[in-house]
């Protein structure tokens, strides 16, 4: 449990204790309960640190800028609201018909009306000025230290790490010269304390990239390139969800951004660019490799995979089979810990808690260990391999596939046998 959470928990507990102020005089009691009520609300807001997409818990400077701008505005809105409500309540109680005379039929008071135009105008001007400043700051792209391309499609995100002119990725030089680019999906891995700029678009409909604790959202629109700043100084996994309605499985299009400190990020890059290691001959994983080549490799790329049957490099061509033209690169599939649009966990619940809720210091090592056999959430993965569209809706009506040039919307039903699934899992367990 993080230091921050302990802090909030403590306040939450002490708050419960203060609510038993009973033997006070009634007037004082009223004041005290009011204050306690306001305080409790404020503190309880803090107690929600557990929600992974909490928009009020910034974990990086971009989200922090938004938070610094918005909390005084929420507070002001709250105060204005309380004043208006109190005023309405006062009128309702005070001027109730108790048989008083018919009031003067006055049509208004000019000065009062001007005053009530002036007050909101002043408040709103005070809000507008810093707003414009933050809008500009959040759209700044001059200070970028690392560019990562992000592409949305129904219903997952692909990441493509840009290699700089000096051969570095985000300023980190790979230990070996890369044979393939780094292409991943679902979980975006970025170095800590680095001003990352996502350069995004979409292959089909509009999607929106949103990691609430790192920044606001930005739509990724086909035919356009949009930018989004991301930065964090705290290693960890930050959850997000596609927030532009993108069709049937919009709810099943999630993503995470993983922040690794410098040394760990270097390690991650090196691991991603490691040459392909074929499974040991004769094992279940080797059978899995054959099954993978036969069943999966038309769409899914595993970098460096060589077909032992003919010695050819296996290259996927999803544009022939999938409507969006892409399928996730599985080179280091179990180096990530979620799959199918980051919707299901590759980790069992216990292992997930261990990784996701570890301290920033321990997080990097735990994440880089990938998913071990003991920790693999086989239930969801097997269900997925058995019949993917049954788990994640890909099309409302299979007959309608014809209208998409005969291409599938996502992973189709493959009719794999249980043996084949065993083989594939053994093979995939080595992909990390």
Partner 1 sequence: MAIIERPSDAVEVVDETTPSVATPESSYGVFRRPVETTGWKSWLFTIDHKKLGIMYGVVAMFFFVVGGIEALLLRLQLAGPNGTVLSADKYNQMFTMHATTMVFLFVMPMAAAFANYFVPLQIGARDVAFPRINAFGFWAFLFGGLFLNTSWFLGGGADGGWFMYAPNSSVAFSPSNGVDFWGLGLQITGIASLTGAINLIVTVINMRAPGMSLMKLPIFTWMVLVVQFLLLFAIPVITVALFMLMFQRSFDATFFSVEAGADPLLWQHLFWIFGHPEVYILVLPSFGIVSEILPVFSKKPLFGYPLVVFSGAAIGFVGWGVWAHHMFASGLGPISVAAFSVATMAIAIPTGVKIVNWTLTMWGGKLRFTVPMLYSVGVIVQFTIGGLSGVTHSVAPSDTQQTDTYYIVAHFHYVIFGGAVLGLFAGMYYWWPKMFGKMLNERLGRVNFWLTIIGMNLTFGPMHIVGLQGQPRRMYVWTENRAGDGFFNIGFWNLIASIGSFVLALGILLFFVNIYVSHRKGTEKAPLDPWDARSLEWITTNPPKEHNFDRLPEVGHLDEFFHRKYEDRGSDGHHEFHQIATAEEVVAEEENNADGHIHLPSPSYWPILLAFSLPIMAYGVIYNVFLVIGGAVLGLVSFYGWGLEPHTAPEDDYDPPTGTAMEVAAHG
Nearer to partner 1 among residue 52 and residue 308 (C-beta): 52
**Which segments of 122-268 are extended strands (E)?**
146-153, 156-161, 183-185, 187-191, 196-202, 207-209, 218-220, 226-230, 236-241, 254-260
Nearer to partner 1 among residue 71 and residue 317 (C-beta): 71
Please state, in angstroms and rounded to a whole number, the distance separating the CA atoms of residues 33 and 319.
64
CA dihedral 306, 411, 425, 338 (to 10 degrees): 110
The tokens for 404 are 């998409």
Q: Which of 11, 33, 36, 56 binds partner 1 (CB under 8 A)?
A: 56
Q: What is the footprint of partner 1 within residues 160-219 (CB under 8 A)?
A: 204-206, 208, 210, 212, 215-219
Closest-CA residue to 238 (of 183, 188, 182): 188
Q: What is the footprint of partner 1 within residues 355-394 (CB under 8 A)?
A: 393
87 scored as a contact of partner 1 (CB under 8 A): yes
Closest-CA residue to 216 (of 134, 336, 127, 146): 134
Three-state secondary-structure class, residue 22: coil
406 scored as a contact of partner 1 (CB under 8 A): no
CB of 324 to partner 1, least distance (A): 11
CB of 269 to partner 1, least distance (A): 28
Q: Which of 28, 38, 78, 313 binds partner 1 (CB under 8 A)?
A: 78
Site stretch for partner 1 (CB under 8 A), options 176-184, 190-198, 245-253, 416-424: 245-253
Please state, in angstroms and rounded to a whole number, the distance separating the CA atoms of residues 320 and 155.
18
Q: Which of 153, 194, 232, 243 binds partner 1 (CB under 8 A)?
A: 243
Site stretch for partner 1 (CB under 8 A), options 144-152, 223-231, 308-316, 412-420: 223-231
413 scored as a contact of partner 1 (CB under 8 A): no
CB of 135 to partner 1, least distance (A): 5
Closest-CA residue to 194 (of 166, 161, 242, 218): 161
CB of 180 to partner 1, least distance (A): 28
245 scored as a contact of partner 1 (CB under 8 A): yes
146 scored as a contact of partner 1 (CB under 8 A): no
Q: Which of 248, 284, 306, 388 binds partner 1 (CB under 8 A)?
A: 248
Nearer to partner 1 among residue 31 and residue 91 (C-beta): 91
Site for partner 1 (CB under 8 A): how many residues? 99
Closest-CA residue to 376 (of 349, 343, 416): 349
Please state, in angstroms and rounded to a whole number, the distance separating the CA atoms of residues 366 and 237.
11
Q: What is the footprint of partner 1 within residues 322-341 (CB under 8 A)?
A: 323
For 345, the enclosing helix (H) or strand (E) is: strand 344-345
113 scored as a contact of partner 1 (CB under 8 A): yes
Site stretch for partner 1 (CB under 8 A), options 114-122, 328-336, 372-380, 419-427: 114-122
CB of 343 to partner 1, least distance (A): 8
Q: Is the peptide bond before 155 cis (omega within 30 degrees of 0)?
A: yes
CB of 63 to partner 1, least distance (A): 8
CA 103 distance to own-chain centroid: 59
The tokens for 255 are 């993503």
Q: Which of 101, 111, 166, 177 binds partner 1 (CB under 8 A)?
A: 101
Contact partners, residue 179, CB within 8 Å, separation at least 6: 273, 275, 303, 304
283 scored as a contact of partner 1 (CB under 8 A): no
257 scored as a contact of partner 1 (CB under 8 A): no
- Strands in 254-260's sheet, in edge-to-edge order, are 187-191, 254-260, 236-241
242 scored as a contact of partner 1 (CB under 8 A): yes
CB of 121 to partner 1, least distance (A): 6
Nearer to partner 1 among residue 137 and residue 313 (C-beta): 137
The answer to whether 223 and 254 are in contact (CB under 8 A) is no
Beta bridge partner(s), residue 376: 347
């Amino acid at each position: 449990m993080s230091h921050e959470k302990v802090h909030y928990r403590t306040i939450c507990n002490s708050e419960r204790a203060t609510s038993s102020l009973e033997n006070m005089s009634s007037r004082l009691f009223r004041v005290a309960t009011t204050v306690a009520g306001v305080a409790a609300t404020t503190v309880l807001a803090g107690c929600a640190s557990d929600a992974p997409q909490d928009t009020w818990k910034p974990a990086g400077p971009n989200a922090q800028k938004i938070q610094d701008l918005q909390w005084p505005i929420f507070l002001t809105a709250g105060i204005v609201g309380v004043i208006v409500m109190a005023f309405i309540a006062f009128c309702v109680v005070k001027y109730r018909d108790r048989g008083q005379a018919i009031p003067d039929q006055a049509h208004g008071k000019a000065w009062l009306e001007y005053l009530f135009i002036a007050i909101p105008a002043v408040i709103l001007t005070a809000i507008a000025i810093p707003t414009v400043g933050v809008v500009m700051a959040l759209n700044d792209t001059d200070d970028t230290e690392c560019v990562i391309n992000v592409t949305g499609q129904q219903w997952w995100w692909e990441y493509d790490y840009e290699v700089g002119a000096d051969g570095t990725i985000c300023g980190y030089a790979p230990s070996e010269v890369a044979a393939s680019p780094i292409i991943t999906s679902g979980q975006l891995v970025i170095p800590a304390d680095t001003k990352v700029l996502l350069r995004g678009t979409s292959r089909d409909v509009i999607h929106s990239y949103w990691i609430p604790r790192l920044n606001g959202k930005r739509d990724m629109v086909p035919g356009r390139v949009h930018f989004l700043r991301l930065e964090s100084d705290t290693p960890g996994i930050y959850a997000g969800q596609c927030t532009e309605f993108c069709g049937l499985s919009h709810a099943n299009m999630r993503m995470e951004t993983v922040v690794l400190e410098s040394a760990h990020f270097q390690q991650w890059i090196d691991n991603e660019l490691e040459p392909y290691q074929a499974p040991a001959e004769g094992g279940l994983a080797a059978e899995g490799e054959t099954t993978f080549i036969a069943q999966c490799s038309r769409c899914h790329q595993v970098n460096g995979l060589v077909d032992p049957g003919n010695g050819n490099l296996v290259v996927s061509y999803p544009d022939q089979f999938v409507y969006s033209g892409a399928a996730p690169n599985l080179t280091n599939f179990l180096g990530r810990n979620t799959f199918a649009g980051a919707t299901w966990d590759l980790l069992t619940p216990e292992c997930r808690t261990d990784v996701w809720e570890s301290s920033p210091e321990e997080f990097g090592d735990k994440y880089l260990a990938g998913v071990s056999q003991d920790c693999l959430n086989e239930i969801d993965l097997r269900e997925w391999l058995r019949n993917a569209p049954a788990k994640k809706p890909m099309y409302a009506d299979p007959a309608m596939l014809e209208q998409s040039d005969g291409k599938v919307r996502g992973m189709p039903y493959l009719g794999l046998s249980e043996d084949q699934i065993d083989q594939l899992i053994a093979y995939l367990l080595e992909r990390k």
